[in-house]
Chain A
């Protein structure tokens, strides 16, 4: 299977600190690839921000469909068809739900409108709250909105950072269901600390530790690696 996104020996420094230390990742055109790592290290989030152009790499290459996109402005990278949901969800709290979707409508408002019914089928709460100020939504609803925003344009890859962060277990299940539905049509690069959720939806994994990629493989194989899980992910055996 050919790759959609590729990181080759990427090094990223932030404020003089060597955050990503030679990371190499391949994201195929199908399924969910998850980046796992210990909580709070921030390396996985930096990997995503490096891909998206917010923290450009100091060396190495980021390729999207074989085209090197290092040094591109974030808006150009997004224009390739990459939808991004940050860990804090990046909701525009003073705007209504509808206006949040409108900002995200990269392919125009008409295209957005044509996709709204599908989006509302996936997240019915949003239809009821469409005129509501986004900042007044619950954490779970905000996560739904963050996901909805990347569905109103034609995307080729979804990059989602910790979708379960700060959510109640029941809401995490709903988000996992939504992601399982999305993965049928779009490849996803996911950062997730919640191992159970990652296990539920991911096909492949990379373990990032100390800014390095220390292990990779198929998700189902990770279940048989208790030592690996305990050492790098803090998952009790």
Chain B
């Protein structure tokens, strides 16, 4: 679910704007730090999540307007820009919060374990799955049932044509970038009590998310769900049985997908195997 929150935003941004946003992992990390700070200040985990979501949206919108838009259309410059910003953001958190791992306490009501026979299900893991499913549904609903969501999907295919219908595509870009970043920051906030809060969390997760996006199919929301699920399973089982090569398995899977089905998993399970599902 955490991979999905990162991958879906990354995929939306790349699909619509053709921007490989390396800062996405850094926003995930920022979400963890900001969420922790809000939680410690207010003692409310709900506020921490909402704060992570809102601050991510605002920071994403500002970054798109100030940093991304002037270089729009130049993929190499944007790649270098987001890579550089990622490094700056990773160092910035060390200055503000220090380089060591910080503890993000779980709220009392999410401490404990549910026992189903021999199966142990920690409440917090159930919470992550639950909130991930809620966000998945909300984003799915937004992209498929609202006009703005449908415009974003249309823009992924042909942004010129969207403009030809009187739609200011730059505003759509800003909104999509902000939405994608807010999914990353809220993912970071939720991951904090589970993974801990530390600067390297950015790099640890961005690579996995990029692989999930490529495996699922760039620009496809459904593909990013499928890719995240597959990568999550490989990480879990690979990490348990052969932890030394768990990451390598992800890369091998990505290479295989690129060789056999470059468009990724999107549309694979549709009737007729249409390749262009969203």
Do A75 and B150 touch (CB < 8 A)? no
Instruction: Report if A62 contacts B (CB, 8 A).
Output: no
* In the complex, chain B residues 89-120 whose Cβ is within 8 Å of any chain A Cβ: none
Name the residue in B147, B157, B158, B165 with the highest tally of chain A Cβ atoms < 10 Å from its Cβ.
Answer: B165
Size class of the B contact interface (CB-based, 8 Å) = 20 to 34
Q: Write out the residue numbers on chain A whose beta carbons fall within 8 Å of the beta carbon of B163.
A: 54, 73-75, 78
What is the CA–CA distance of A99 and B272 in the complex, to the nearest angstrom? 21
Q: What sequence of 0s and 1s flags, for each residue 238-264 of chain B, a beta carbon within 8 Å of any chain A beta carbon?
A: 000000000000000000000000000
Do B158 and A90 touch (CB < 8 A)? yes
What is the CA–CA distance of A135 and B166 in the complex, to the nearest angstrom? 23
Q: In angstroms, how far is the closest chain B Cβ from the Cβ of A134?
A: 10
Do A135 and B274 touch (CB < 8 A)? yes
Q: What sequence of 0s and 1s flags, for each residue 19-48 of chain B, a beta carbon within 8 Å of any chain A beta carbon?
A: 000000000000000000000000000000
Which among A101-109, A115-123, A164-172 touches the partner chain? Answer: A101-109
Do B165 and A104 touch (CB < 8 A)? yes
Q: What sequence of 0s and 1s flags, for each residue 7-33 of chain A, a beta carbon within 8 Å of any chain B beta carbon?
A: 000000000000000000000000000
Q: In angstroms, how far is the closest chain B Cβ from the Cβ of A160?
A: 12
Q: Write out the residue numbers on chain B whose beta carbons fall within 8 Å of the beta carbon of A74.
A: 160, 163-164
* In the complex, chain B residues 132-173 whose Cβ is within 8 Å of any chain A Cβ: 147, 150-151, 153-154, 156-158, 160-169
Instruction: Report if A206 contacts B (CB, 8 A).
Output: no
Do B276 and A90 touch (CB < 8 A)? no
Q: Write out the residue numbers on chain A whose beta carbons fall within 8 Å of the beta carbon of B153.
A: 92, 94-95, 99
Instruction: Report if A97 contacts B (CB, 8 A).
Output: no
Do B161 and A90 touch (CB < 8 A)? yes
Q: Write out the residue numbers on chain A whose beta carbons fall within 8 Å of the beta carbon of B165.
A: 75, 78, 103-106, 149, 153
Number of interface residues of A (CB under 8 A): 28
Instruction: Report if A93 contacts B (CB, 8 A).
Output: yes
Instruction: Report if B82 contacts A (CB, 8 A).
Output: no
Do B278 and A94 touch (CB < 8 A)? yes
Instruction: Report if A205 contacts B (CB, 8 A).
Output: no
Q: Write out the residue numbers on chain B whose beta carbons fall within 8 Å of the beta carbon of A79.
A: 166
Q: Write out the residue numbers on chain B whose beta carbons fall within 8 Å of the beta carbon of A76.
A: 166
Q: Write out the residue numbers on chain A whose beta carbons fall within 8 Å of the beta carbon of B166.
A: 75-76, 78-79, 106, 153
Do B160 and A105 touch (CB < 8 A)? no
Which residue from B164, B167, B272, B274 sits with its C-beta under 8 Å from A90?
B164
Do A102 and B147 touch (CB < 8 A)? yes
| B160 to A, closest residue via Cβ | A54
Instruction: Report if A200 contacts B (CB, 8 A).
Output: no
Instruction: Report if A219 contacts B (CB, 8 A).
Output: no
Which B residues are closer than 8 A to A by beta carbons? 147, 150-151, 153-154, 156-158, 160-169, 272, 274, 276-278
Which A residues are closer than 8 A to B by beta carbons? 52, 54, 73-76, 78-79, 84, 86, 90, 92-95, 99-100, 102-106, 109, 133, 135-136, 149, 153
Q: List 7 A-B contacts (CB under 8 A).
A: A74-B163, A75-B166, A99-B154, A103-B165, A105-B147, A106-B165, A106-B167
